[in-house]
Chains A and B, each alone.
Chain A
Amino acid sequence: MMEQRGMHRNAASRNTGCGLCCTRIENFGVTIGGSVILHDVNMHIHCNELTALIGPNGAGKSTLLKAILGQVEHTGELKYLDAKGLHTGRPAIGYVPQSINTDYGSPLSVADLFVSCNSLAPSWLLAPKGVLAKAAEALAKVQAEHLLKRRLCTLSGGELQRVLLALALQPLPDLLLLDEPVAGVDEKGMMLFFDIVGALRQDYDLSIILVSHDLKMLAKHADTVVLLNKTVIACGTPKAVFSGKSFRSTFLPVQTEDKTLKR
């Protein structure tokens, strides 16, 4: 069923190729244990657009993604409307997590992960050819077709993120959420990742929300930058946001601290 929905959506928006379909985040608020994590968050995301979410640590970036996914209780509404109004309501969402449990020595292979996610066939017993072929197809789109038989725990940071990206493409989502996909990935891997994401966005008219600390990459690849610190502080083109007052006052001092913490 999920798959049909994905294809249907694809057919509907492929030929429009428009940037008319949109996702609206209206008045999102999250309160956990009495402390306000997010309040009055409003965002408007068009398809074929890469929206970057930046902000200091603890600004609620990951929480916002989890609220959009419906995994964190929140107030406000998530609305989706495609170009012809054919598919409305909740968008199909693909999600690439920040970091995963790549337990060293775990026998879970990339193929196993695809079968487990996309098929009813138990992956401990079967590896259906059709599912594997589709997995290979998705992996090819992220230049990772050679990784199908590899175990997850043997992949490099960049390879892993590409595999997870391929996984998020099946079934094809309306909205793609990437939570710090390039944290811990080397420069070359990072450039490859952004190139792939850019190509996917064009090919499938995806709306993408990406959390990242790498401002240099965002300046080059993002269409819109949203500066978040419990609520939306600034929003606009990378140039506009990066040169804005609010960016300098809320982000820069914290970012230097941020980097030392990460090391």
Chain B
Amino acid sequence: MEIWNQIVSILPFDWAQPGQMMFMKIALLAVILISPVFGLLGTMVVNNKMAFFSDALGHSAFAGIAIGALLGLVSPLWAAVIFSLLFALGITFVKHRSRMHTDTVIGVFSSTAIALGIAISTIGGKSFAKFTKYLIGDILSITPGEIGIIAIVLVCVIILWVFVFNKLAVISVDASLAGSKGIKVFWVEAVFTAAVAMVVTLSISWIGLLVINSFVVLPAAAARNISKNMRQYHLYSVLFALFSGIAGLIGSYYVEIASGAAIVLVSALIFFITFFFRNRGK
């Protein structure tokens, strides 16, 4: 943390001076660490048309947190992680077992989860106010201890991407083709789904379930507009995620708006700019 403080202090912002606004510095570090995670995972979420799925995961995370709080756990976050994993498995299972359209299956699960979350959190006529922070999220509430968790998540996702990405890419083209190349399709998909579920759930209290999906989808969607191969796709996606994270956070400090929303607005802007320069033809 000390080293980070010194690095930050060279920035020309008043909050960056030594002894000032500790929460801003921590938030900045958090954004720098978590943005690449969304940038990487987002590429395959978008390519596999799972945007709605990751949105539903946000809802399930909320239900998980409500259940955790009901059980009186000190940190309801871990209950949420377990619930999200079960939720993701549930969707995958129903999807494979029935011929229902994926959209419908996810819609059913998603609304059930959010209703369950609201119901549990208001048991006995309690006020919902305690839970609003999960709707909007607060990046500025990140503690130095949580930075450690984010760093571990980043390392895990990079390791996952180094070893599993190729397989995911082949599966996204054709599952049978992937199978003929010796890829264990079910397991690779399960690991990826679980990773997205973990990341979305862990970040829900910082980013908020209303905007979390934009974090996953927008940088990759923008990168897709202008990329001609996987390397460009990932490079732009991570860069866009980083840029909107940093610019949104710092911007929100001066304009005084919720940082999560500011970050999403910056990435939306990038999306529309890239849209006008998108790939056409070959």
Interface residues of A (CB under 8 A from B): 2, 66, 69-71, 93-95, 97, 100-101, 103, 105-109, 111-113, 115-117, 119-120, 122-127, 149-152, 154, 164, 167-168, 177
Contacts and interface: CB of A to CB of B under 8 A. Distances in A.
A242 to B, nearest CB: 29
Nearest to A115: B166
A122 B162 contact: yes
Interface in B152-203: 161-163, 165-167, 169-170, 172-174, 176-177, 179-182
B256 to A, nearest CB: 37
12 contacts: A2-B182, A70-B179, A93-B180, A101-B172, A101-B174, A107-B230, A108-B169, A113-B173, A117-B170, A122-B166, A123-B231, A177-B180
B133 interface: no
Contact of B181 (A105, A109, A117, A124): A117
Interface in B228-256: 228-234
A124 B234 contact: yes
A4 to B, nearest CB: 14
B172 A124 contact: no
B141 interface: no
B169 A69 contact: no
B47 interface: yes
B72 interface: no
B5 interface: no
Contact of B43 (A117, A124, A168): A124
Contacts of A168: 180
Given A108-B230, A124-B234, A95 B165 contact: no
Question: B interface, by DSSP: helix, strand, loop or mixed?
Answer: helix
Interface of B: 40, 43, 47, 49, 161-163, 165-167, 169-170, 172-174, 176-177, 179-182, 223-225, 227-234, 279, 281-282
| Max chain A Cβ within 10 angstroms of own Cβ: one of B161, B173, B177 | B173
Contacts, number: 106
A125 B231 contact: yes
B228 A113 contact: no
Contacts of B282: 150-151, 154
Nearest to B169: A116
Given A101-B172, A108-B172, A124 B177 contact: no
Contacts of A111: 229
A64 to B, nearest CB: 13
Contacts of B228: 107, 109, 149, 151
B232 A100 contact: no
B49 A103 contact: yes
Contacts of A2: 182
Contacts of A107: 223-224, 227-230, 232-233
A112 B163 CA distance: 15
Nearest to A147: B282
A122 B43 CA distance: 14
A224 B68 CA distance: 64
B224 A105 contact: yes
